[in-house]
Amino acid sequence: MRSPSPSHTATATPPDDKPDTFWRTLQTFNVTRIVVAMVMLAYISTQSKSETWFSQLFTNPQTCSVYLLCAGIFTAVTAYHHRHYMAQIVLPITVDMIAVSILYIGAGGAKGGLAILYLFPLAGAAILAPLLLALLFVSIATIVLLGESGYQILQSTPDASTLQAGLYGGAFFFAVLVINRLANKLIKQEELATQRGRDLRVQMDINRIAIKDMGDGLLVVDPVGTLIMANPAAERMLGLSLSDEDQQHKLSDYAVLAPITDALFAWESHVSDLPRTVSPTVGEAVFVTIKHTDDLGQGQEAAIGWSGRRELAAHLKVRFAAVRMRELSEYRAVIFLQDVSEIENQAQQLKLAAMGRLTASIAHEVRNPLASISYAATLLAEDATESAEMRLLTIIDDNVARLNRMIEDILKLSRKAQRQLEPILLAPMLHDIVRDFRQTHAVAPAAIDLQIDAADMHSVWFDPLHLREVVTNLLSNAVRYASARPGAMRLHVMSSVAERLELHVQDDGEPISPAVRAHLFEPFYTTSSKGTGLGLFLARELCLNNGALLDYEYRHDVQGQNSSHVSGRFVIAFAAHDPVSLAD
């Protein structure tokens, strides 16, 4: 088998192709050579001329001048030509050895005191060249020192001895070995540091891609709430643009982020006393609701971007982690955001699917027995004479009516998808609903206060029958908790900063507690013994079906110049556009 020719062999890394560190070190060595040459020229120019035979051939100033010129040429070549690394080491060091030898011999040998100049080129060879090459140059320098001392002995020069030359040679050998070992160790450490830095950059790029594409939101803040980093998922969940690096954002700058800010400060009160550690301190998860229909302050422009969403609220699961580094005097808080709105919607859809499968059997298997029970109770009531019997029959009638309402609500859920998508005038519709509610529920006219601010000509995308059912449901809920005073129930229509109309329904009763608020819109959840737990759930589903959002909010009602009262109200945020186009 014929071996491949060199021209066809695989391309290998050229031996001259050294890392930039070697070239920078070589350039530093060349610049140092210029400085040494200038110092030698200045020093020797001030000294008296030697009378040796060698000085008749070379003068010291001439040697230093040529040496300085060569040093400049070597420096220029290294600066513009990063090729032939070994040649750029061997040739300059050879010139160094020749120049130093000429100066050493011209100064009279050992008595001239210039033997120390050999240390400069030898140290450079020990750092930049292989050990064998460096030892070669040491050997040459030692031979020159011993040769010059031997010549002085043959000339019967007084005090001539090879001891000093031998000591210099031994010292040079030892210095070269030590410097070479140290240089090799530093080179290996630098290579390791370079490799670690390369691995770290790769890991950082991988982390950056993972953080950018991860589904959960990620915020990094300092203890005072200043945003350091936010990934795109967090910006999408919060509906804000937080990527302006020239401006220091704080969570408190955005009124819409007040729930997260409050949860962060509450968590920090427990974390600030923990000992310093490099491991993250993870807190318990909390659930917050981010709404973009409130007074958003600096978040108004971002809220307008939410006006096309199906929902104007984001239900987030928030977790906090404290990362304490020894190099930092303070910790960094990492906030993990998970949008659970979709999870909640999927859970609701599963419940609806289960109820849909039961609707047919409930309609036929339960409704007919209820009708028989109600008819039998009516017949018994005709012959009942005692109060105890009448009380028992009344209990039967009440529970039959309650079960019948539950069946009606379940049947309405199966019919909720049948909507008429046409814009309707809100003000006339609300007036008609309130008038019918007053008549059917025997409510005093002054008990319901309807306020419409500049909304007489506004239209909303909502099915009229669905809107009537939702508002009637909310008013029926308010009747149970409102007082009999005038204006005990209030309907207020206003415009939000997200350019949506909102309908606020509230009463003068006590606000719903946060514990109850967390389960308020869940099916079959009720705090009333006569309720079915489907009214508010059905109302929210009808709102979502029409591109609107129904939620319960806490607001501060100003009572005076320096006082306010926290009240709760149901808020319907109507769709700003056709829900069909939004769904598409």
Provide the pLDDT confidence category of residue 400 given band limits of 50, 70 and 90: confident
214-339 is classed in which CATH architecture? 2-Layer Sandwich (3.30)
Is the pLDDT at 369 greater than 50? The verdict is: yes
Is the pLDDT at 295 greater than 50? The verdict is: no
pLDDT of residue 582: 45
Rounded to whole angstroms, the Cα distance separating 507 from 483 reads: 8
HSE-CB at 528 with a 13 A cutoff on CA atoms is 15
Helices (H), 107-130: 119-128
Is the pLDDT at 43 greater than 60? The verdict is: yes
Q: Look at residue 290 and give its three-state secondary structure.
A: strand
The fraction of the chain above a pLDDT of 90, given in percent, is 1
pLDDT of residue 307: 37
Provide the pLDDT confidence category of residue 178 given band limits of 50, 70 and 90: very high
pLDDT of residue 313: 66
pLDDT of residue 244: 54
Task: State mean pLDDT over 327-349.
Answer: 74
CB distance 38 to 68 below 8 Å: yes
Is the pLDDT at 429 greater than 50? The verdict is: yes
- Provide the β-strand partners of residue 459: 425
CB distance 435 to 397 below 8 Å: no
Least confidently predicted of 47-56, 177-186, 446-455, 461-470 = 47-56
Residue pLDDT, tens place only, 249-275: 788 777 778 888 888 888 877 665 544
pLDDT of residue 396: 84
Burial of 548 (0-12, 13-18, 19+ CB in 10 A): buried
Task: State mean pLDDT over 379-404.
Answer: 79
Least confidently predicted of 23-37, 497-511, 518-532 = 518-532
pLDDT of residue 85: 84
Domain boundaries, the chain: 20-195, 214-339, 346-415, 423-583
Rounded to whole angstroms, the Cα distance separating 539 from 477 reads: 11
Task: State mean pLDDT over 400-429.
Answer: 70
Provide the pLDDT confidence category of residue 177 given band limits of 50, 70 and 90: very high
Q: Please give the span between the terminal C-alpha atoms of the chain, in angstroms, as a whole number.
A: 70
Is the pLDDT at 488 greater than 60? The verdict is: yes
Longest Cα separation, the chain:
156
The amino acid sitting at 534 is L
Least confidently predicted of 47-56, 124-133, 281-290 = 47-56
For residues 422 and 191, which has the higher predicted lDDT (pLDDT)? 191
Task: State mean pLDDT over 561-582.
Answer: 68
Residue pLDDT, tens place only, 109-133: 777 777 888 888 888 888 888 889 8
Is the pLDDT at 298 greater than 60? The verdict is: no
Task: State mean pLDDT over 130-156.
Answer: 86
Is the pLDDT at 536 greater than 80? The verdict is: yes
Least confidently predicted of 97-101, 147-151, 212-216, 525-529 = 525-529
Question: What phi-psi label fits residue 113: left (phi over 0), alpha (psi between -120 and 50 degrees) or beta?
Answer: left
Task: State mean pLDDT over 566-570.
Answer: 81
Task: State mean pLDDT over 191-204.
Answer: 86
Rounded to whole angstroms, the Cα distance separating 441 from 55 reads: 128
Provide the pLDDT confidence category of residue 55 given band limits of 50, 70 and 90: very low
Q: Look at residue 156 and give its three-state secondary structure.
A: coil
Provide the pLDDT confidence category of residue 443 given band limits of 50, 70 and 90: confident
Take residue 501 and report the two structure tokens written for it. 């109309």
Rounded to whole angstroms, the Cα distance separating 472 from 570 reads: 13
Least confidently predicted of 217-226, 344-353, 554-563 = 554-563
Superfamily per CATH, domain 423-583: Histidine kinase-like ATPase, C-terminal domain (3.30.565.10)
Is the pLDDT at 203 greater than 80? The verdict is: yes
- Closest C-alpha among 566, 539, 542 to residue 555: 566
Q: Look at residue 449 and give its three-state secondary structure.
A: strand
pLDDT of residue 398: 77
Q: How many CB atoms lie within 10 A of CB 85?
A: 19
